[in-house]
Amino acid sequence: MDTIKAIYASLEKVMDPEIPVLNVLEMGMITDVQQDEKGIHIKMIPTFSACPAISVIRQSISDTVSKDLHLPVEVSVDAAIQWNSNRLTETAKEKLRGFGIAAPPVHHGEIEADMLLHVTCPHCGSDNTFMRSPFGATLCRAMHFCRQCGMMFEQFKPLT
């Protein structure tokens, strides 16, 4: 297996600390992977610019890849690219639903109110839901309630 493939295989083990069923690749957080004579260089982007987990994720990437490949690893935040919710893979969206979080819809650069107000319940699949609060456990999530099954759930907000 070549080194780049091995790096990506290692990155599959690095889970998001706030949504531990998703890895950084499924989240679309990795923007570049390089190797040279000095070691491995990985660029990442946080899902939210004020994300408190940035340093934890950077350290986890560095520790995991370094341990797996026995090479020095440098992880930097890629300032040239801004994360948006369209970067989530389809696998990530399925895992979110299985974790009880509604996945964000695909957008085309504009977030419309319907994307936040009309959300399908990840527990029962009903569209009979309403937003309880635009703020959830983190800034990138909103709280919803399902009238069908009576469950509260979070929606990962669509972000541009």
- The pLDDT value given to residue 160: 84
CA distance 110 to 69: 41
Q: Are strands 101-102 and 129-133 parallel, antiparallel or unpaired?
A: unpaired
Domains and CATH numbers, the chain: 3-77 (3.30.300.130), 85-156 (no CATH)
Q: Helices 54-69 & 3-11, crossing angle to 10 degrees?
A: 130
- The pLDDT value given to residue 111: 86
Stretches where the chain sits below pLDDT 50 are: none
- The pLDDT value given to residue 1: 56
- The pLDDT value given to residue 24: 98
Asked if 69 and 3 count as a contact pair (C-beta separation under 8 A), the reply is yes
